[in-house]
Structure 1
Amino acid sequence: MTIPHTSQALSRFTVLDLTRIRSGPTAVRQLADWGADVIKIEAPAEVDDSEQPGGPRHGADFQNLHRNKRAMTLNLKDPRGHAVFMRLAAKADVVVENFRPDVKARLGIDYDSLRAVNPRLVYASISGFGQDGPYRMRPGFDQIAQGMGGLMSITGAPGQGPMRAGIPVADLTAGLFCAMGILTALLEREVSGEGQWVQTSLLQAQIFMLDFQAARWLVHKEVPGQAGNNHPTSIPTGVFKTADGYINIATTGQRIWERLVTAIEAPELLSDPRYATNLGRSQHRDPLNAAIEERTLQHSTAKWVDILNAAGVPCGPIYSVDQMFADAQVQHLGIAQDVPNPEGRPLRLLGQPVTLSRTPSRMAARPPEIGEHTDEILGEFGFSPQELAELKAADIV
């Protein structure tokens, strides 16, 4: 293996990556960043030279999703390519795919087919709506899942219509949940000796992410609505104008409410019977927010951040992305990391948001070029130089 391990945590596992676009690559990125030997499998250029979904290979999105992997080409539509894949799957630990449910069966690489050659295999699938059910054949897309999963109905300002979140929440969380499922199945395999099929979907992930908003309906039959920048239950929590911009203030519970009123020097709010309880503050949210904003307009965001933090009131500035990366705490955390690459081109990507004391993750290798490690990988799986030459001549790899 020519690229170094990013971590020793998962270095004993080999992962075959058949994923595209975002949700699947997000899942596999978790495994690659923690040291698994991830092999990205793509169609040869002679078979498919079109730009794949997910943007150009050297674009920011692709680069951020596919670091710390090796890459090979393989024509899965050809019976000889299928035979090669089955030899790989027989020795691998994990296969991850996010095809539509019918595609893997048509290619002969579905879970049952692979389990027959490797009962220990953990096979992971991400789809738009699930592997079965009335919507199983629908193509999945993040914004569709945000809408069907309820998120757009509670995002945005009241009365202004549904609003998508600014990131692909369903794609990203489906990928993270898939990775968690894979790791759970690998842990269970240590006891049973058998693999299993891990399944999730954009729709399931999005619904799960509603969390307390979903629980409000399931337990109390409350239908949450849009609240804009106001928190739906902790009041006053939201965005307030300052002398030079905006600030987030989060007030949860009576004690923090009292600290806020003292810090902004508005004792009249504390004595106002409308705001004496959380229920009262909820019922009179708009005049309360206006009264608070009268005070926050008197100073800059930076000054209020200092004042409120000193008073024990949760608050923070609202950054643009460039401002966020310039923040002292963000830089201290080191989540933006340089990626080593033999070309010496500047490449800085997002690192993992989790740290392990003995086996940390790191940026070990840039995203691979298409087919960059084909010869090396097939050699490791026992293919002879003659077999490799024949596969190349037939445009199988």
Structure 2
Amino acid sequence: MSKTSFPRFPAGQGSLQGLRVIDLSRILGGPYCGQILGDHGADVLKIEPPQGDDTRTWGPPFRHGVASYYMGLNRNKLGMQLDLASDVGRLALMGLLEDADVLIENFKTGTMEKWGLGFDVLHARFPRLVHCRVSGFGADGPLGGLAGYDAAVQAMAGIMSVNGEVDGEPLRVGLPVVDLVTGLNAALGVMLALQERARSGLGQFVEASLYDCGLSLLHPHASNWFMDGREPRLTGNAHPNIYPYDAFATRSGALFLAVGNDRQFAWLCDELGSPEVARDPRYASAGARSVNRAELRAWLLEQLATCDGQALADALMLRGVPCAPVLKVSEALQHPHTRHREMVVSIGDGYTGVASPIKLSRSPASYRLAPPL
């Protein structure tokens, strides 16, 4: 049987131009990692099983029979179908790996080893290959080898316990934050391994687990607990350490204030026509404002009730007070600054998505390929 050749990609640009990546992953964390690398010039070959990536069916909405969920994670990739449970599929993969720099996979721990494709085997044959695994809990330990999904890890890693209204129940964060940060850490791990390979000439095994990444998101709750041993509690939109860092109702919609220091608080009070409040001992320092947040919140709600939220946000931001109106997804994606930052990208007539947030001056991201249909 002839060797399976790495496909030819459209000429691209970016800091990773010439890097060849095989993406065997499905669902979110691994594909997001592959998309990050592809956006910055890598040639990413996405290999799916005969039934396809599960997220192809995670809709509606659908276009051309493919769910939007899949479309949001798999641009700048060419597609191929292989059954790695078969000898033919594994042989084809080995042929592709001869030309590859990076392998991304998120199979259940032990699956690649069962197929004879574990790191030790691949490293012996392809010593320069960087093998990146996205897993639920890692390979060993009390939970080693178990499958993990974003929401379950949000629950187990303590994220849900600090997300929710003061008098409510713990809530899942409304986006797959654990999966996304795991994909980011996987991409960072790949880049670290490639940087080290430039010195040693050798690839290595990179792992990013959902559980580890979930725990890494616990700032400042983890550092607070390490210092005083108090169990963090639900605070709604409020920050556990500083105030006012919370959402407030105005005459025309919700406004989020993110006041981080005494100077910003003085500017806020001045804009509200009450500069003397910034000198009140109850509110004159960050620590005092945090302790006396209930009284401060009541005063702010009274002051803001008659304000136009957008106008006040514009005025405060010009003064240097971090704040923002609380926008809907559609409003955020159509905001003039979103357009100015080129954060929405279209490829052809059938794909629109959120662009790469990583801006490089000489080797920017590029968008060559819509997700494979």
Question: What's the TM-score once normalised by structure 2's chain length?
Answer: 0.92
What does residue 54 of structure 2 align with?
52
Counterparts of residues 90-129 of structure 1 (less than 5 Å): 90-129=98-137
Q: 1:297 to 1:9 in 2, by over 3 A?
A: same
Q: 1:308 to 1:8 in 2, by over 3 A?
A: closer
1:244-270 per-position Cα deviation (integer Å, ceiling 9, x unaligned): 111111112221111111111124533
Counterparts of residues 378-389 of structure 1 (less than 5 Å): none
Q: Separation in 1 of the partners of 2:16 and 2:179?
A: 23
Q: Are the counterparts in 2 of residues 94 and 124 from structure 1 also a CA contact under 8 Å?
A: yes
Q: Are the counterparts in 2 of residues 351 and 362 from structure 1 also a CA contact under 8 Å?
A: no
Shift of 1:220: 3.7
Q: After the TM superposition, which parts of structure 1 deviate over 6 Å for at least 4 consecutive aligned residues?
A: none
Shift of 1:5: 4.2
Query: Aligned partner of 2:206: which letter?
Result: V
Unaligned ranges ≥5, structure 1: 370-397
What does residue 308 of structure 2 align with?
300
Question: What's the TM-score once normalised by structure 1's chain length?
Answer: 0.86
Shift of 1:54: 5.1
Q: Once structures 1 and 2 are overlaid, which stretch shifts more, 260-269 or 99-108?
A: 260-269
Alignment partner of 1:40 is 2:46: yes
What does residue 30 of structure 1 align with?
36
Unaligned ranges ≥5, structure 2: 1-6, 59-64
Alignment partner of 1:136 is 2:144: yes
Cα RMSD of the aligned pairs, angstroms, is: 1.8
Alignment partner of 1:356 is 2:365: no
Q: 1:161 to 1:4 in 2, by over 3 A?
A: same
Greater Rg over alpha carbons, structure: 1
What does residue 72 of structure 1 align with?
80
Shift of 1:51: 6.9
Match of 2:222 among 198, 208, 214: 214
What SS does structure 2 have at the residue aligned with 1:96?
Answer: strand
1:204-237 per-position Cα deviation (integer Å, ceiling 9, x unaligned): 1111111322122234434322111111111111
Shift of 1:24: 0.7
Q: Separation in 2 of the partners of 1:331 and 1:8?
A: 21
Query: Aligned partner of 2:19: which letter?
Result: F
Q: Once structures 1 and 2 are overlaid, which stretch shifts more, 174-183 or 248-257?
A: 248-257
Alignment partner of 1:263 is 2:267: no
Q: Once structures 1 and 2 are overlaid, which stretch shifts more, 246-255 or 171-180?
A: 246-255
1:322-361 per-position Cα deviation (integer Å, ceiling 9, x unaligned): 1112211111111101113xxxx34211110011111111
Q: Separation in 2 of the partners of 1:244 and 1:334?
A: 29
**Structure number with higher helix proportion:** 1
Q: Once structures 1 and 2 are overlaid, which stretch shifts more, 172-181 or 253-262?
A: 253-262
Match of 2:187 among 176, 179, 187: 179
Q: Are the counterparts in 2 of residues 5 and 35 from structure 1 also a CA contact under 8 Å?
A: no
Relative contact order, CA 8 A, sep 6+: which one is greater?
1
Counterparts of residues 159-170 of structure 1 (less than 5 Å): 159-170=167-178
1:277-307 per-position Cα deviation (integer Å, ceiling 9, x unaligned): 3333222211211111111111211221133
Q: Are the counterparts in 2 of residues 40 and 71 from structure 1 also a CA contact under 8 Å?
A: yes
Identity among equivalent positions (%) equals 34
Q: Are the counterparts in 2 of residues 90 and 114 from structure 1 also a CA contact under 8 Å?
A: no
